A = this chain, B = another copy of it.
């Protein structure tokens, strides 16, 4: 039986301010918690339906993870989901403050003020698919531990590391052999641009694009050409997570 204080604490972690105070976040659902159990994240406590605990009791005991059985009604009181998915974990926010030195080797994804939680979560999931280990976000981007972000990563948050930093300083620190590819509406056709292995893919805000102060730092402006079969496309832009995925896919294709 969950106490009032437990429910209050869990629900407080849906709000950024309390996540920063407690240095904890929530992770929900069987797939995500499965990935969590296979990660180095520190788990504070797990709340789950009886069958889930029965199925996972060995790993919970081996890893000495605290857990509590709850019923469906209790689950719905602490879940962020319309259809709660059996298990919720309170997880310690890891300290990822120091950006690794090898960040500029290979592909690096840099997000300038992504605001939509679904977009950031989907970008993390896509990065995981394409083997991109680290994502750099501007400080004014959406919080990666927002439950909607966590949900959209579908477990990839346990594998891809996300760092928040001041982007112009970060981009200035890159070695000269690493090129910055900025994704814009007016840029070179990505399919025909020469891509290199050590590359930063810079993605701008959903409505404003890349900040004006970062524009001069871009080495190659790239864009995804519109199609026009029978009608001229009047779409103004692509969704930010879609554009990111298409660019990552094109880098991936050239490598294989």
Contacts and interface: CB of A to CB of B under 8 A. Distances in A.
A126 interface: yes
Nearest to A107: B229
Contacts of A130: 226-227, 233
Interface residues of A, number: 50
Most chain B beta carbons < 10 A, residue from A31, A224, A239, A255: A239
Contacts of A227: 129-132, 252, 255
Interface string A133-155: 10000000000000000001011
Contacts of A230: 102, 106, 131, 133
Contacts of A51: none
Contacts of A232: 131
Interface in A134-182: 152, 154-156, 159
A3 interface: no
Contacts of A95: none
Interface stretch (A14-22, A212-220, A240-248): A240-248
Given A131-B228, A227-B252, A229-B133, A122 B242 contact: yes
13 contacts: A125-B238, A125-B239, A128-B235, A131-B233, A132-B227, A132-B229, A154-B239, A155-B236, A159-B231, A159-B234, A192-B256, A245-B246, A246-B249
